[in-house]
Amino acid sequence: MPCLTKKRHGLKISRDMSNRHVRHLRLLSLMILSAVLAGAAGVARAEDPLQEFQPVEKRGRITPFNGAAPLETGKAGSGDSGQLPAGELQPMAKGETGAPVDGAAPSEGVTVFERMGAELPPLPAEKPFEGKPDDAYGAFQRGYYLTAMGLALPRAQLGDRAAQTLVAEILDSGLGVKRDPKAAAFWYEQAANAGDPSAMFKFAVLLMEGRVVPRDPKRADELMKKAADLGNASAQFNHAQTLTADMPGEKGLKAALPYYRKAAEQGIADAQYALSQILINVDGIPEDERATARDWLARAAMAGYDTAELDLALWMIDGIAGERNLEAGFRWMRRAAEGGNVVAQNKLSHLYINAIGTRQDPVEAAKWYVLSRRAGLQDPQLEDFYLGVSDEVQKKALMAANRFRRS
């Protein structure tokens, strides 16, 4: 799903958040939140076992986006906070697939034993299909791009906005045809003028960039807001980004909050993360909403967003927005570290040294310190620890670190 933001105010623009376009703005969005929330009042929390090396300020921890590819999760459901048992969440191993993000296990159907002696419920009434099948989109989904173009183009020329958007997508991506950004922009604009939310978002991005069409920030903002109000999740997130950039301070954050929430409910992991930070830090948030902050953070973490994994680990260890769970916090920290998050690698070393949520393991502690140090993160306390262990421990740690880099 596409997800871009404004170029002005220093915000960078990438192209898309789908499988085609994986670059995405994250850094400034949370830097904005960080700057705004840095002065927010704090609340009391439980004694912090990491306090000597990991202070967690205020109610939560604001960290900048780190450039990891954004992902989507399942919908939280309109108007439903979708409470997740964050303290019990188990991070999945690499390559592992699991239950849906919201925790629902897949149905196995009615078994033979359940049917014995029981009358099956009546089938629901059959609903007649209205309208003709969209052959063009069906061909597109199956990868028959030339067929899709051949079916969609005549409809696009007759003013069908869905067909216009499909033609633009094929031309923009060069799927089965030569890539033609200018022709794609033409069809995106036609579909946007006809009211297609996806085309509005795509054309707004082009207007922001100013490479294929003349740059027009004002019209881009108007189209982005229209697309957001029509329910486009990517536009909702980016309109929220625009509001936080144009209105620094809590006023902008509160104005952006409904759009972050809508995007989060549609599965935008970046929005889920941003929502969690606003809920835990901004003053005046109702307590019942503030109580869902860890749940939203958990959704972003379950989507594989490593910064959310790191923060969820710290929240669990420190007892922020929920009960303390050292073991679960350790598991999430390890998950983020294994994904390459350098800060998580550093913190994981501390957890191994202090036996927080796990057993004490000097080899693992030294290994993760070596990895974080190689990435440029200096830590005098860990350096003292490393120099104080035996040569044998250092040797094993270096070998383990080298194996990790090759894996």
Task: State how far the Cα of 177 lies from the Cα of 183, in Å rounded to an integer.
Answer: 12
- Please name which of 374, 382, 294, 295 lies closest in space to residue 342, comparing C-alpha atoms: 374
pLDDT of residue 93: 55
- State the pLDDT confidence band at 101, using cuts at 50, 70 and 90: very low
Residue 210, domain CATH: 1.25.40.10
> Is residue 114 a part of any domain in this protein?
no
pLDDT of residue 134: 82
> Is residue 217 a part of any domain in this protein?
yes
- Please name which of 359, 366, 367, 297 lies closest in space to residue 332, comparing C-alpha atoms: 297
Is there a single domain that holds both residue 352 and residue 287? no
Give the predicted TM-score (pTM) of the model: 0.68
SS3 assignment for 186-245 = HHHHHHHHCCCHHHHHHHHHHHHHCCCCCCCHHHHHHHHHHHHHCCCHHHHHHHHHHHHH
> Is residue 91 a part of any domain in this protein?
no
Region 337-345 average pLDDT: 97
Is there a single domain that holds both residue 299 and residue 316? no
Structure-token pair, residue 247? 């209105």
Residues 211, 213, 215, 216, Cα dihedral to 10°: -150
| 115-138 pLDDT tens trace | 344 454 555 554 443 445 589 999
Region 374-382 average pLDDT: 97
* Structural domain of 405: 310-407
pLDDT > 70: percent of the chain: 67
Is there a single domain that holds both residue 334 and residue 369? yes
pLDDT of residue 52: 41
- In angstroms, the Cα distances linking 238 to 17, 226, 283, 300 are 12, 12, 23, 17
pLDDT of residue 69: 32
Question: Worst-scoring range by mean pLDDT, 70-84, 241-255, 278-292?
Answer: 70-84
SS3 assignment for 61-96 = CCCCCCCCCCCECCCCCCCCCCCCCHHHCCCCCCCC
DSSP state of 268: B
Domain end call among 263, 281, 303: 303
Question: Worst-scoring range by mean pLDDT, 97-111, 187-201, 347-361?
Answer: 97-111
Q: Burial-class residue 291 by CB neighbours within 10 Å (0-12, 13-18, 19+).
A: middle
Is there a single domain that holds both residue 286 and residue 362? no
Amino acid at 273: Y
Backbone angles phi, psi at 268, to 5 degrees: -80, 110
Is there a single domain that holds both residue 210 and residue 266? yes
> Is the model's pLDDT at 250 over the cut of 50?
yes
> Is the model's pLDDT at 281 over the cut of 50?
yes
| 170-195 pLDDT tens trace | 999 999 999 999 999 999 999 999 99
Task: State how far the Cα of 273 lies from the Cα of 305, in Å rounded to an integer.
Answer: 9
Q: What is the overall mean pLDDT for the chain?
A: 78
Region 69-90 average pLDDT: 42
pLDDT of residue 125: 58
| 26-68 pLDDT tens trace | 444 444 455 445 444 343 333 444 444 443 333 443 333 333 3
Is there a single domain that holds both residue 353 and residue 284? no
Residues 6+ apart with CB under 8 A from 41: 58, 283
| 388-398 pLDDT tens trace | 999 999 999 99
Is there a single domain that holds both residue 351 and residue 278? no
